[in-house]
Every structure is written in C-alpha cells, then in structure tokens.
Amino acid sequence: MKLASIGRRLSLSGLTLVLAAGCARAGNHSPKTEVSPETNQRPVALVPQPALPGAVAIADVAEKAIPSVVNISLTKVSRAPSMQFFPFFGPPGNEERREQGMGSGVIVSADGYVVTNNHVVSDATEIKVTTHDKREFLATVVGTDPKSDIALIKIKDPSGLTPIVFGDSSSARLGEVVLAIGNPFGVGQTVTMGIVSAKGRADLGIVAYEDFIQTDAAINPGNSGGALINMEGKLIGINTAILSRTGGYQGVGFAIPTSMVQPIMESLKKSGKVVRGWLGVSIQDVDQEIASAMKLPSAAGVLISDVRAGTPAAKGGLRRGDVVLKVDGVAVTSTGQFRNMIAASGAGKKVTLEVLRDGKPAAVALELGEMPEVETAALPGGPGAPQGGGSALDGLTLQTITPEARRAFGIPDDVQKGLVITRIDSKSRAARAGLRPGDVVLEVNRAPVDSIQRFNELYSKSRDGVLLLVNRRGNNQFVVVRR
C-alpha cells in the first residue's frame, strides 16, 4: 500500500491554495477505506478535485514578475574632517569616505529604464544593477523626485531585459492578495505575500506627496524600490517604507501606487524633473467642528484657509472659506488627496473646482501654474513675549501687533491687522484647539478683528464654538475653539 498526495485547489479571491491530502492507493484501484472499530463507520474517502476555472498559483505569479525586479548596489562618497591636529601635523583636512548602499528596483522598459526610490540612489557616485539571473550592469541617474521618493535610473548597454507590466493601482481592493519582491538585507531576491491593508495613506510625514498603499507583505531594509504586484503579476506599487519600532518588519509597510509612479516616471524621463500643478492656497481638512462652525451640510471636502495674491487660485477666483468638493468631477476626500490631484494634473492644466461658497454651490474654472521649488511651510510659534491685554476666551492673552511683538514672534510684514496671542494656558480650551503663542488672530466667525474689544464682542455672540482664522508664520488656517 502506497501513500499518494492529492492536490485539492481552492480558489479564494483569485488565490489558489494547494492542500496536500494523503490517501491509500494500490495500483489503479479505487481509493480504499477501512471500517473504524470504534464507530463501525467508514470515513469519507478524499478524491482528486479538478482545479477551479480561473485559479492562479502564487508561484506562477511570482515567476512572471521576478525577472523584472533587480537588486541595486551603490557607492556613496562623503567627506569628513580627518584626524589631524593643527598645528602640529598641518592644517585640518578632509578624508574621503566610501559608503556602500543597497536597495531594489523595477525594470520598466526593455531599453534599460529602472524605477526605484530616491532615498536608494541619492548622492550615489556609482550604481550597479544585478538582474535575477546574476547579470550585472552599471547605471546612471536620469532624475530624482525627493517629494515623492521616486527615482529613475538608466542601465548602460542593456540587453535581454524583461520590463514589468503596469497594473491599475486605483482598482486594488482591501483584502486583495499582493506579493512584495525585493532584496531585503542584501540576502538576495525574495518574495513575500500579504494583502492590501489600506489605500490612500497620507499625512505620515515620510515625504511631501503621499498616497500610499498599506500592506502587511513583509518589507525590510533593502526592499526599498522593489515591486508590489497583484495576482495578475502586474505592478501596482513601489515599496518604500515601513512603520516599525525596531527598524524591522512589524506588519505595516507602504508602497507608492503606480497611479502616482507613472506620471512622475514619464516626467523624469522627459525633463529630468517633475513639473507639478500649483494653486497657491493653504488648505485644511473639514472636520465636524469646522463643518458645524461654518454651517456646512457635512464634514466633506477641503477648506481653503488662504489664497495668496497673484497665484493661479487668486486669478481664477478661488476665495478663502471656499470648501472644495470636487476636482473635474472627482470627489475630494482629504487635503493629501487634493494636493496630489492638483500636483499630478501638471502646470498649464485647466481644471474645474466644485465648491461650497457661503453655503451655496459654485464652480471655479482656472488654469494651474507650475509649483515653485520652495513653498512656504507652517512653522511652530515664536518665543514668549510680555503679557498683553485680556480676552473673553479663557486662557488666552491677546495684544495688538506692535513692532516689539512682530520681532518677538516673527510676524511677517504683510500681516498688518489682527491680534497676536502672547500667552496661552496649557490647560485651556484654546490650547486644546491647537492655538500657540505667536499666532495672529485675523477673524472671529468670518469677521475681521483689529481690537480686543471687537474680539470680545464677536466671541460673546458664539454659542457652541468660535471659528478663528489665524496666521501662523505666514500661513493661514481655521481653528475651532469649543465654548
């Protein structure tokens, strides 16, 4: 009597699980069963089952994509002060230090273009690409985009390359099985499996433009720049970061979706840089408190908290206080998504924004400009200052803008009106709302303020909460303080 393994295929969301089941077989006879002495019953015999239509073997998916994923090793040169002591051994000099790095990349064209992460190849002086069949090539950087952590490199004298097939990352579903392919810890090409845990992850502080696919497929140092593929063997993301307390894999990894990778890749190929669309506004998410204070029908869209003079937004008629609900018919769900949509549209693109203005729907058509190299960012409040006048808002001390206050808190010259917060009680409602010393209160419930008396008057009329427009180091934002 011989034991034979019978493959039984179960299809689960496009995934084939192969279960091994043992049964007794003799020659070509039918499966035998034996009577159980305890129950006097015959157990059910396992019989071979045909593969279900459309079933996919994970090994086949991996083999399809593996030739398109490469290992990247590189050399970086840094200069550091040498260990010389002036004046006994001459003036201090600089020593050249050669550092080795590693990562992964994905072949995107047969003529040698490879997509990887910016942090993998930044400052590299020599780049070597190793394919799955151990062939080695030298490569050069075509262009990098630190704001998205994408880089494009080009293999010198390419031959016999297998480019990846791009998939549609926007159609990926939560719970969908995915594979991560890369070179963790430099041990060599590795395949790990997981699912799509979440989509649209942003505001993580990893890079300026974030729209990550979150996955629990194991990603470790060295996987950066590698492929995240679906069960069709198509690329849906470039693995870039993990969330970890130890520096190693803890079940939370992030990949840049191909919907973001492809336009950046094409822009880098064309001009060596990324030309993003730009409005020239400050924005913030609409939460329940903002929606209630502004009497909005729901906490949806993105609030325009400031419109800078002379920008495409100002020329197109966008106003502070507008709530953007859609861009060219696509719903706006968060500030991160909105920034990505505008940036990805590119300079010169004409877009139509559907907004709520004073509670009424309106359409704003405008042409996007080109994002400047450096944008103004909100910074923490300035140092303390002498106590000023009081206000009706408990725990908050305000004063008019004086030359001394302007110097102490770094108030921009173009902020001429408003009241500067000079002191705040750390346990007050104002502090819990996020206000800081150095913030300049410009409006209370959408009305301008230039005196403490006016502030108190407007505040006293508020019932549930007060809506403040504050300027923080040149950037405006709305803040709701509960009463």
Query: Which residues are known catalytic residues?
Result: 119, 149, 224
Integer Cα distance of 254 and 216 in angstroms? 9
Could you tell me whether strands 465-472 and 440-444 are parallel, antiparallel, or unpaired per DSSP bridges? antiparallel
Which residues does 174 contact at the CB level (< 8 Å), separation at least 6?
Answer: 195, 196, 197, 198, 199
**Helix, strand, or coil here: 274?**
coil
Burial of 380 (0-12, 13-18, 19+ CB in 10 A): exposed
3-state secondary structure of 188: coil
223 close to 180: Cβ distance less than 8 angstroms: yes
Q: At what angle do helices 258-271 and 335-345 cross, to 10 degrees?
A: 30
| 451-480 as b/e: b if 16+ CB within 10 A | ebeebbebbeebeebbbbbbbbbbbbbbbb
Helix, strand, or coil here: 211?
Answer: coil
* 3 state DSSP class of 269: helix
Contact 49, 18 (CB under 8 A): no
Residue 261 neighbours by CB under 8 Å, 6+ apart = 115, 150, 237, 238
Report the 10 Å Cβ neighbour count for 123: 13
d(CA 31, CA 18) in angstroms, rounded, equals: 20
Those residues whose C-beta lies under 8 Å from the C-beta of residue 61, and which sit 6 or more positions away, are 179, 229, 231, 232, 233
Residue with tokens 């062939």: 135
* Strands 124-130, 69-81: pairing kind: antiparallel
| Phi-psi region at 316: left, alpha or beta (left = phi > 0; alpha = psi -120 to 50) | alpha
Structural Rg of the chain based on CA atoms: 30
Local structure of 347: helix, strand or coil: coil
